[in-house]
Every structure is written in structure tokens, then in C-alpha cells.
Amino acid sequence: MKSDIVNKIIELREEGFSYKHLSSKYGYSEELIKSWISKYKKQLNTYNKDHLEEKYQINSEFFEAIKPKSILDLYCGRNRFWADNYGSDCKVISNDALVDKEARPDYKMNIRADQLLQAYLLVDKHFDLIDIDPYGSPRDCIEAGIKLADKGLIVTFGDFKNCCKRFSSESKNLFQEFYGINLPKEKVTIDHMAEFVVKLSNYRFKVWGIISWKSCDRIYFIKED
Ligand SMILES: C[S@@+](CC[C@H](N)C(=O)[O-])C[C@H]1O[C@@H](n2cnc3c(N)ncnc32)[C@H](O)[C@@H]1O
């Protein structure tokens, strides 16, 4: 019974409800809820199995579409999908700032994604494919990702549904602040986020595909011919 409630709380958190809201709704402390979420993130492989399977399937189709020779996986997670599946076909750099060292002692790169991108920008190091897959907002990686990706760019908008729901009662319009979208929040769709990236890339990239889940959307961009 309790695990049903925990699962429900995790689900609502994924949909963008604040810890404060969940704490007052269910009567558990914010700290306890945070500890459940953190434990859940470590167990994502099983909790989000369908979501992951779909993501990995589309990743593979995208790989075939662009046939990259180099990949930068900025938020690789515990599964390290690109390195573990395509590491022998091409050069993959995997990074994750918070990866559980005990789970993956072979991880070498533990840097904040935006900082890593800035370091690569300084030396103008390009990759055929860059994957930006945060839980939250990808905003601080988008410009550099566009500059350094030569064939394909993948961006997960972990903040998109949060902007729609979690902040819906706030006067601040995060779409405007983050993405320069001058529309009422309820009118913003994932296509507007796609358009934001396409325009920012000066139309060098176009949308190849979009997958949408309860908590986020992920857009695959491919270089225009
Ligand atoms: C959505 S998960 C990644 C899932 C993974 N790409 C996959 O497909 O299996 C987001 C990951 O970002 C990591 N992370 C959180 N903040 C980060 C940051 N600032 N820079 C790099 N990684 C970060 C987390 O540890 C987590 O593993």
C-alpha cells in the first residue's frame, strides 16, 4: 500500500509538482520525499523500463540515419547507452556528473555537462552526434551543443512539461525567459521548443523525430543536407 503512494508521489514529481506541494498533499517531509526520488533515480533502469526501451530504440534508428563516427554523451546515466552499444563502431565520450561510482566504476568523466561543453568550445572540438539528456532543463547546453554537433543533436526537454504544469500558477513565464517564446504558457507546444533550436542553429538543423512521455519530450535534430 505504502509503495503505491511512493510510486504516485514519484510520478507526480516527474510531472513537475514541487516537493512542497507533495509534502503538504501526502503528509511526508520534503527530505523524505527527496530521498525516495534520489533512490528512484538510481533504480531508473527498472522503474522507467518502457520509457527507456523506447528511447534506446529511437536512438538506434537515429544512429543508422546519421552514422556518426564520434558521439558526445553528456548525461550518459548508468546505462551509458552510446558507449556500451556503439563504442566499437565509433568514438564515444560518456559523461555524467552524478553517476554512482559503485554502480559503474569504469566511468571516467564526471563533469557538469555545461562545463564540459564550454571546455570543448574553447578548443573547437566537434562531434558528429551530441546527446543532451538531462532530467531537467537542457537550456544551458543548447547553444554550445548546436555549435559543436556536426551531423546530429538530441535534446531532452525535461523542463517543458514542468514549465506547463508546475509553474502554471506563477506569474513568471519560463518559456519566455528560457526560450524567448512570447506566448501564453498554455499555448506552448513541444514544436515551439523544436523551432527554438532550429532557429538558433540558423536552420542548419531540422527535426528528425520527437518522442514524448509523461514527464518530458526528446527531440532528434539532423543536419540539413
Ligand atoms: C535522464 S538521465 C540520463 C539517462 C541516459 N542518457 C540514458 O539514456 O540512459 C540524466 C542524468 O544526468 C545526470 N546529471 C545530472 N546533472 C548533471 C549535470 N549537470 N551534468 C551532467 N550530468 C548530470 C544524472 O546523474 C543522470 O544520470
pLDDT digits (tens, 9 = 90+) for 162-195: 665 554 455 567 788 888 888 887 788 899 999 9
Q: Which of ligand 1's atoms lies nearest the C-alpha of 74? A: 21
pLDDT at res. 1: 44
pLDDT at res. 129: 98
Say yes or no: 108 and 37 in one domain.
no
Ligand 1 pocket residue status of 160, Cβ below 6 Å: no
Q: Is 221 exposed, middle or buried (0-12, 13-18, 19+ CB in 10 A)?
A: buried
Q: Is the pTM of this model over 0.85?
A: no
Say yes or no: 38 and 55 in one domain.
no
Note down the domain range covering 161. Answer: 50-223
Say yes or no: 85 and 168 in one domain.
yes
> Which residue bears the cell 509523461?
214
Q: Do 210 and 10 form a contact (C-beta atoms < 8 A)?
A: no
Say yes or no: 174 and 202 in one domain.
yes
User: Does residue 113 surpass a pLDDT of 80?
Assistant: yes
Say yes or no: 173 and 201 in one domain.
yes
Say yes or no: 34 and 55 in one domain.
no
Say yes or no: 137 and 191 in one domain.
yes
Say yes or no: 23 and 117 in one domain.
no
Ligand 1 pocket residue status of 133, Cβ below 6 Å: yes
Task: State the pLDDT confidence band at 48, using cuts at 50, 70 and 90.
Answer: low
Ligand 1 pocket residue status of 51, Cβ below 6 Å: no
What nine digits make up the cell of 165? 504544469
CATH of the domain at 70: 3.40.50.150
For ligand 1, the distance from its centroid to the CA atom of residue 62, given in whole angstroms, is 20
The total of structural domains in the chain comes to 2
Q: What are the angstrom distances between the C-alpha of 3 and each of 8, 35, 38, 191, 209?
A: 8, 14, 15, 36, 35
Ligand 1 pocket residue status of 40, Cβ below 6 Å: no
Say yes or no: 37 and 62 in one domain.
no
What does the alpha-carbon distance between residue 192 and residue 163 come to, in Å, rounded to a whole number?
13
Q: Mark 75-94 as b/e (b = at least 16 C-beta within 10 Å).
A: bbbbebbbbeebeeebebbb
Say yes or no: 30 and 70 in one domain.
no
Ligand 1 pocket residue status of 158, Cβ below 6 Å: no
Pocket test for ligand 1, best of 75, 133, 155 (most atoms within 8 A of CB): 75
**Per residue in 17-39, pLDDT tens?**
778 888 888 899 989 988 888 77
